[in-house]
Structure 1
Amino acid sequence: MEIHRIRRTAPRAVATLITVLAAAGCAAPAAPGAGDSAVLRVAGPFETHSVAPVESDGLFTRLEVVETLVSSDLEGDLMPGLATGWDESRGGRSWTFELPADVTFHDGTTLTADAAAASLRAAAEEEASPLAAAPIRGIEAEGDAVRIDLAARYPALPAVLTHYSTVVLAPSSYDADGAVTEVVGTGPYRVERLELPANIEVRRFEDYRGPAPQIERVAFQAVGRAESRALLAVGDQADVVFGLEPAGRERVDQAPGVAMESSLQPRSLLLKVNAKDPALADVRVRRALSMALDRAAIADAVLREPDLAATQLFPPSLTAWHVPTLDPLEQDVEQARELLAEAGWTAGPDGILEKDGEPLRLTLTTYPDRPELPALATAIQADLREVGVDLAVDVTNSSEIPARHADGTLDLGLLARHLALVTDPLVTVAEMFPPEGSDWGAMNWSDPALLDAIETLQSDADDTTAARARTTIAETAQAELPLIPVAWYRMNAAVNERVAGFVMDPLERTWHLSEMEWAS
């Protein structure tokens, strides 16, 4: 994974910046943990409206309150988490995960295999958890271990158990109906105060089995506006600020005492295409839309990094999936027009393409949760207008993309898709390209060669066969474009100079708070 560190010390008048932002209506929110120098103040755009693991978006694993049985390093390689190790048997249809002895939950109770198994069973019943897709026959305690029995081989199981929905919670976390009401875990930090959706304070758990964190207290605050997050960073009101957008990065670059940390993520910004739409069902039209996009200019204007222009679905950070020899997606307006003409579309009096008396009018649905998406949508709208496509942009709730997928009214959806929330991207790829389609993947499109390649990878193929299968997936997606890549994504964070040991995790599993310390 590519990780960058940039330190800028050019002076800047913070008071001037505050005045400018305030004039623009960007008043700074109260700083998390303000007034207490012993508190590590963390801010980011991550709200959570539920303590249920599957709905928490991994916030409690990032804060190291809860743990999964399996973890991963910065490269995505699996390593022990709460489990000390694991073995498979019965031809890969049974897995045993060993638990450490004398582990204490934050409520003082002892971790047992029964408690761990109960948490995993709850996760397996949640449709939104990748564990629900595993062919599980049973999850039971077996001495000091958890045994998971499968109906068929499923080599990705340990990788699935890195997902935040599979964390192990104490029995006291659940009410009588099995709903999660508290977050009681085994991590190096325990929840001290929780105010959903925006504020969480955690404190060092003194009975943690591993090395004690150097920083005793952490206060996290969700801050929705990118301008306000930048103000917290340059105004010395937060120690670590995630989710800085291009303008915010520029402010941080010029501020004293703040370092920029950056990592190219395994995340792609994509156009989801309804391949059943009368126009978009024609692969020539999908290719023409792709060729109309000036990705480098879009990435430069919106993300301030032309190198983030996506030349294929899988970014270079996914080294096993990125195919350097693949013909890159590039702008070719003339070729786009020729493809549209071949598909039977001709220019009408207003310049909009027509076919059988119907104009080529589409709606692109996106959402503001990631501030770059509406700006990207506007740029895409302008590029498609150049080849005669009339594109309306609808910026709405993110839930509208799966809703319009379900009722068939979606034309195009612009979304950000993390390809490695489970450390093995195969799990996400399989979710994106099932025959029936996927809310956050393909729509009304399927390909036998791609499905065969996924099945080959799921069968635990040897390295050479697996590499060929991954190449087949990348090549098929590139040729058919059921998802049109637009840009790759870089996660940015501002880190105050009073903090040492910050680590940027490209997979966003954890913020490595327990490894940080106050700079001397």
Structure 2
Amino acid sequence: MGWQRMRVAGASAVALLMIAGCAGAGKDTPAANQPLRVVGQFEFHSLDPSTAGGLFTRLEVAETLVDADSKGVLQPGLADNWTASADGLSWTLTLRSGALFHDGTEVTADVAAAALNTAHGKAGTPLATVPLKAISAEGNSVRVDLTEPFAPLPAVLAHTSTQILAPSSYGPDQAVTKVVGSGPYRVTQLEPPANIKLAAFEQWRGEKPEISEVTYQAVGRSESRALMAESAQSDVTFGMDPTSLQKIKQAGKLNIADVTLPRAILLKVNSGHDVLGDVQVRRAISMALDRESMATALLRDPEMAATQLFPPSLPDWHQESATPLEHDPSKAKELLADAGWVPGSDGTLERDGKKFSVTLRTFPDRPELPVLATAIQAKLKELGIALDVKVGNSSEIPAGHKDGSLELALYSRNYALVPDALVTLADDFAPEGGDYGAMGWNDPALTSAFDALASGHDADHAAESRRKVTDILQTQLPVIPVAWYRQSAVVSPRIEGLILDPLERSWRLSGLTWAK
């Protein structure tokens, strides 16, 4: 057993011991005297906004200059408003007055500009891809100068990697040593990689949270998270596998909150591979997938079967007119035969003496991924494709992309972590590819469509550009859509008011109340 699996197993064992020893604990204590207990699947190994996975914005500890509502419409965050110059090369963001960090210092334009300059220097973040010339402070405003127009800039400044932290958060080398934000909750204790304690920030400028204390615990196994929810050891539980969720629904003792996300479960394909580089082979793999059956049996939600990359929860990008991806194993076999693949003596396809054998990498952080990988393995076996499934760490996917060893990967991708999906898409399908997008594949027409949208000069033809993007991705399949995604949370009856954020920027804990 590898160290990663040992760590997860150990965390699960601790969780189960807690359940056994503490079940029923606190039942005689009024709810308002207890912390809100949140359990999820996400561990934290870094405090840096660029690598912490948005955990501290989800917990409402840190803020960004720009916020977004449930539909992705941009809203004021730490900035009250923003304007662009006539040529689109300069943006000015005016800060809210009176905002304070948790250490009592003021949120100033100088501090915000410094935080953004630090974020821009982090490779792989959305801000790093912006055609940036300079970020500076002007009075109570942050000025962003560009080398070319970039219309989605305010949306980039809503991404969690651009959160504004107090200067006291940073060590001498600008490494983040503690998280001192400006949100409604402040950190009181950190125990990496799994435990965080929060308290309401008394000087928060907005409406004060009714729940004054929060604990977050990362628990590796979905089964353990389900047990914690069922035994009242968690008030809000994220990352439930479909089987456990169905069981909890049937029991009827706990509440379920859910929301359809602008997220898709994808099969990433190395299009530079000597076998997978053939678009006919990629189409055959896509046709082998019985998406409706997988969504029904494994996700317990047939509506989540993906007919195209973009789910209906991305209305600007979802194309009702797109020819849907379908399950057609007979056609898939024809395509493979046309590509020169014939069954060998053991049933595995062969061409020029080489067997069709590839490896798929995935990870257990999202519990549906390993079971979907097994279903994909079975469907490809029916075609004669030998698929080896390796369940490891999520970091193995970008690492395999970088060193060229990746063949196939299964993961989920939220296209609205930056509220304007264009930013994520242009990065994922850039000519050089992306860690969670294309590999060994590019299309000049796609790049041209992205460039036109980013310039902001072609608003009248934006819908046509988005349709072109869908058509190209649907035809070339540099990534193969498998399913769309509905997020659920199990909610204790002792709390009220949980509304899930489809953009996954915040868990909105400050809006919760104790049940009356």
Would you call these one fold, judging by a TM-score over 0.5?
Answer: yes
Q: 1:353 to 1:25 in 2, by over 3 A?
A: farther
- In structure 1, the partner of 2:332 is 336
Q: 1:301 aligns with which of 289, 297, 302?
A: 297
Q: Could you list the runs of 5+ residues in structure 1 that have no partner in the other structure?
A: 1-23
**Whole-angstrom CA distance in 2 between matches of 1:25 and 1:188:** 30
1:106 to partner: Cα distance:
0.7
The one-character-per-residue Cα deviations of 1:57-80 (angstroms, maximum 9, x if unpaired) are: 111111111110000000111000
- In structure 2, the partner of 1:6 is none
Instruction: Give the AA of the match of 1:140.
Output: S
**Whole-angstrom CA distance in 2 between matches of 1:93 and 1:108:** 35
- In structure 2, the partner of 1:128 is 124
Question: Secondary structure at 1:211's aligned position in 2?
Answer: coil
Stretch deviating more after TM superposition (411-420 or 62-71): 411-420
Q: Indicate yes or no: 2:348 matched with 1:352.
A: yes
- In structure 1, the partner of 2:4 is none
Q: Indicate yes or no: 2:110 matched with 1:110.
A: no
Question: Secondary structure at 1:505's aligned position in 2?
Answer: coil
**Whole-angstrom CA distance in 2 between matches of 1:212 and 1:151:** 41
Q: 1:25 to 1:341 in 2, by over 3 A?
A: farther
Tell me the C-alpha RMSD between the 2 structures.
Answer: 1.8
Q: Indicate yes or no: 2:94 matched with 1:98.
A: yes
* Contact 1:71/1:81 (8 A) holds in 2: yes
**Whole-angstrom CA distance in 1 between matches of 2:318 and 2:89:** 30
TM-score by length of 1: 0.92
Q: 1:129 to 1:29 in 2, by over 3 A?
A: farther
Instruction: Give the AA of the match of 1:99.
Output: L
* Contact 2:258/2:488 (8 A) holds in 1: yes
- In structure 1, the partner of 2:184 is 188
Q: Indicate yes or no: 2:202 matched with 1:206.
A: yes
1:88 to partner: Cα distance:
1.0
* Contact 1:273/1:482 (8 A) holds in 2: yes
The one-character-per-residue Cα deviations of 1:150-198 (angstroms, maximum 9, x if unpaired) are: 1111111100011111111111111111111111111111111111111
Q: Indicate yes or no: 2:507 matched with 1:481.
A: no
- In structure 2, the partner of 1:237 is 233
1:33 to partner: Cα distance:
13
Q: Indicate yes or no: 2:423 matched with 1:427.
A: yes
* Contact 1:78/1:159 (8 A) holds in 2: yes
Q: 1:367 aligns with which of 343, 363, 366?
A: 363
Q: 1:501 aligns with which of 492, 497, 502?
A: 497
- In structure 2, the partner of 1:27 is 16
- In structure 2, the partner of 1:53 is 49
Q: 1:315 to 1:196 in 2, by over 3 A?
A: same
Q: Indicate yes or no: 2:157 matched with 1:157.
A: no
Instruction: Give the AA of the match of 2:16.
Output: A
Instruction: Give the AA of the match of 2:384.
Output: G
**Whole-angstrom CA distance in 1 between matches of 2:217 and 2:303:** 31
The one-character-per-residue Cα deviations of 1:290-316 (angstroms, maximum 9, x if unpaired) are: 111111112222212222111111111
Q: 1:428 to 1:33 in 2, by over 3 A?
A: farther
* Contact 1:298/1:309 (8 A) holds in 2: yes
* Contact 1:192/1:203 (8 A) holds in 2: yes
1:28 to partner: Cα distance:
5.7
1:26 to partner: Cα distance:
8.1
Q: Could you list the runs of 5+ residues in structure 2 that have no partner in the other structure?
A: 1-12
The one-character-per-residue Cα deviations of 1:497-516 (angstroms, maximum 9, x if unpaired) are: 22111111011111111111
**Whole-angstrom CA distance in 1 between matches of 2:442 and 2:254:** 48
**Whole-angstrom CA distance in 1 between matches of 2:38 and 2:446:** 42
1:90 to partner: Cα distance:
5.1
- In structure 2, the partner of 1:197 is 193
Question: Secondary structure at 1:386's aligned position in 2?
Answer: helix
* Contact 2:498/2:512 (8 A) holds in 1: yes
Q: 1:312 aligns with which of 297, 308, 311?
A: 308
The one-character-per-residue Cα deviations of 1:353-385 (angstroms, maximum 9, x if unpaired) are: 111121111111212222211111111111011
**Whole-angstrom CA distance in 2 between matches of 1:267 and 1:34:** 37
Stretch deviating more after TM superposition (155-164 or 393-402): 393-402
**Whole-angstrom CA distance in 2 between matches of 1:458 and 1:451:** 10
Q: Indicate yes or no: 2:374 matched with 1:385.
A: no
**Whole-angstrom CA distance in 2 between matches of 1:214 and 1:401:** 41
**Whole-angstrom CA distance in 2 between matches of 1:176 and 1:411:** 41
1:29 to partner: Cα distance:
4.1
- In structure 2, the partner of 1:15 is none
**Whole-angstrom CA distance in 2 between matches of 1:25 and 1:232:** 11
Instruction: Give the AA of the match of 1:329.
Output: L
Question: Secondary structure at 2:383's aligned position in 1?
Answer: coil
- In structure 1, the partner of 2:488 is 492
* Contact 1:32/1:221 (8 A) holds in 2: no
Q: 2:515 aligns with which of 502, 510, 519?
A: 519
1:102 to partner: Cα distance:
2.2
- In structure 2, the partner of 1:144 is 140
Match runs of 1:440-451 below 5 Å: 440-451=436-447
**Whole-angstrom CA distance in 2 between matches of 1:518 and 1:70:** 29
Q: Indicate yes or no: 2:37 matched with 1:41.
A: yes
TM-score by length of 2: 0.93
**Whole-angstrom CA distance in 1 between matches of 2:507 and 2:403:** 38
**Whole-angstrom CA distance in 1 between matches of 2:14 and 2:251:** 21
Question: Secondary structure at 2:335's aligned position in 1?
Answer: helix
Instruction: Give the AA of the match of 1:208.
Output: W
**Whole-angstrom CA distance in 2 between matches of 1:29 and 1:426:** 44
1:108 to partner: Cα distance:
1.1
1:351 to partner: Cα distance:
1.5
The one-character-per-residue Cα deviations of 1:6-29 (angstroms, maximum 9, x if unpaired) are: xxxxxxxxxxxxxxxxxx998264
Q: 1:198 to 1:25 in 2, by over 3 A?
A: closer
Question: Secondary structure at 1:84's aligned position in 2?
Answer: strand
* Contact 1:32/1:220 (8 A) holds in 2: no
**Whole-angstrom CA distance in 2 between matches of 1:203 and 1:375:** 38
- In structure 2, the partner of 1:82 is 78
Identity of aligned residues (%): 54
Count of aligned pairs between the two proteins: 497
* Contact 2:23/2:232 (8 A) holds in 1: no
**Whole-angstrom CA distance in 2 between matches of 1:502 and 1:155:** 33
Instruction: Give the AA of the match of 2:156.
Output: V
